[in-house]
Amino acid sequence: MSNTKNMSNTRHPFIPSATPPTWLGVMGGGQLGRMFVHAAQAMGYKVAVLEPAQDCPAGHAADHLLSADYADQTALAELAAQCVAVTTEFENVPAQSMAFLAERTFVAPSAACVSIAQDRIEEKRFFTECASTSGVLPAPYHVINSAADIDTAPDALFPGILKTARMGYDGKGQVRVKTRQEARDAYAGMKAAVCVLEKMLPLAFEISVLAARGVDGQSVVYPIAENVHRNGILFTTTAPSPHVTPESARKAQDATLTIIEKLGYVGVLCIEFFVLQDGSLAVNEMAPRPHNSGHYTIDACVTSQFAQQARAMAQLPLGDVRQHSPAVMLNILGDIWFKDSSGALHEPAWDKVLGLPGAYLHLYGKDEPRPGRKMGHVTFVAPTLAKAQQSLLAACAILGITP
C-alpha cells in the first residue's frame, strides 16, 4: 500500500523527534553511509540502512540494519514504511529500487537523477544538453556498442580512454588506449561491454564542485576543491583549490548550479571538472551523493556534506557552506598496513598522526585492510594552506606514503 503523506513536492520539513523517533533511510552500507548516519544522528534522527552485507561500515553505526538485496521489495517496503525519507550512498543502487521507494516515501535524489549518473552515455548526453547554458562540455567521445564502433570512431579521439558505460569507479573499467588497435584489444578484455571512447585531454588538474539543492529549489555550492589521483583512486583533496583561477572557479560553480537545476535534483551532488592546460574547463562526471573529495567539509566547513545531505532529504533549510579553515584531505588505503613482503599486518602509528597540528582521523570500521581498499581518511586543517600541507607531508612520512 502506498504511503503518500511524504511524497509531495511541497516543502514539508521532517523535523527530528524522539517520541516517536523520526527515521531517515539510506541505501548502501559503505563508509559514505556511515558518515551520513553519524551526521543524521547528531541532528536527532534515527537511521535505517539497507545493505546486503551484515558486516558493513554503515551498519555498525545505524540504528537499524536491513540486511537484504537492494532489489528486495519486501525489505524496500519495510524501509519505506519506517522512514520519512530515503537517500542513497552510492550511484549503482538500482534505479528501479529508488522508484519503488518513491511510490511509498520521499526519496532524494530521485530515481531519474540516479539513473543518469549510473550510465556514462546518458551522463555525457545530459552534460552536452546543459552546455548551451552551462558553457562547459564533456570531453569529445564516441559510444562503443560493438567492435565495429571502434572502427568508425574519429581519429581525433586517439589517444583516448575506453570506459565502461556502467559500474566503473576508482579507476575500474577504464583503459588508456593510444591507437585503434589498443582500443580493440581493451574492448575485447572488457567482454564487449557497452563503452565510451573518450578523448584524452591536456589536463592541468582536476577540481570537484560540491553542491546541494533543496526541495524548494534553493541551491548552495561549496568552495572549489582540487584533487590528485593515484592509480585511479583519489589520493589527496586540497580546499580551497590552490591553482584554480577566480574565473574558472566561478564558471565551474555556475555550471554545477545549472546542472543541478536542470536535473531537478534534491540532495548533495558532486561534479568533477578537468581544468585544461589552456585554462578551459571540461565536465567529467557527477556523483549523486556525497563524495570522497568532499570529506574535508566535515572538519573545515560550517556544514558538512553529510549534514547537508540529511537537511536536503528532510526538507530542512540548507546549511552554511562557508569554509572556516584551509584543509587537505589524505585518503588512507589498506596498503599502509603492509610494511613488507611478509603479508603480516602492522597497525599504522595513528598516535603519531594525531599528534600533528590540525589532524582529524576518520577510520571507516573495516576490519580487513587490503591494498587499494579505502580504510579511512585524515583531514588537516590549519590557519593557512601551507601549514595544512606541512602536516600532510609529516603524516605521509609517518605512514610510509610517498608524498
- Residue 174, annotated as binding a ligand: yes
* Cell 581525433 found at: 156
Q: What angle do CA 257, 259, 263 make, to 5 degrees?
A: 115
- Residue 376, annotated as binding a ligand: no
State the distance between the two ends of the chain, measured CA to CA, in whole angstroms.
Answer: 55
Tally of CA atoms within 13 A in the half-sphere of 189 that contains its CB: 14
Judge contact between 296 and 237, C-beta under 8 A. yes
Judge contact between 356 and 380, C-beta under 8 A. yes
Cis ω on the peptide bond leading into residue 159 (within 30° of 0)?
A: yes
- Residue 400, annotated as binding a ligand: no
- Residue 171, annotated as binding a ligand: yes
- Residue 191, annotated as binding a ligand: no
Task: Give residues with Cβ within 8 angstroms of 144, minimum separation 6.
Answer: 150, 153, 162, 187, 194, 195, 196, 197
* Cell 543524521 found at: 40
- Distance in angstroms (rounded) separating the CA atoms of residues 360 and 63: 25
Q: Which has the closest alpha carbon to 39: 51, 55, 26?
A: 26
Q: What is the DSSP letter of 140?
A: P
- What letter represents residue 85's amino acid? A
- Residue 44, annotated as binding a ligand: no
- Residue 59, annotated as binding a ligand: no
- Residue 272, annotated as binding a ligand: no
- Residue 199, annotated as binding a ligand: yes
- Distance in angstroms (rounded) separating the CA atoms of residues 138 and 127: 7
- Distance in angstroms (rounded) separating the CA atoms of residues 222 and 209: 7
- Residue 347, annotated as binding a ligand: no
- Residue 172, annotated as binding a ligand: yes
Q: What is the DSSP letter of 224?
A: P
- Distance in angstroms (rounded) separating the CA atoms of residues 157 and 283: 17
- Residue 264, annotated as binding a ligand: no
- Residue 201, annotated as binding a ligand: yes
- Residue 9, annotated as binding a ligand: no
- Residue 308, annotated as binding a ligand: no
| Binding-site residues from annotation | 120, 163, 168-174, 198-201, 206, 229, 284-285
| Binding-site residues from annotation for ATP | 120, 163, 168-174, 198-201, 206, 229, 284-285
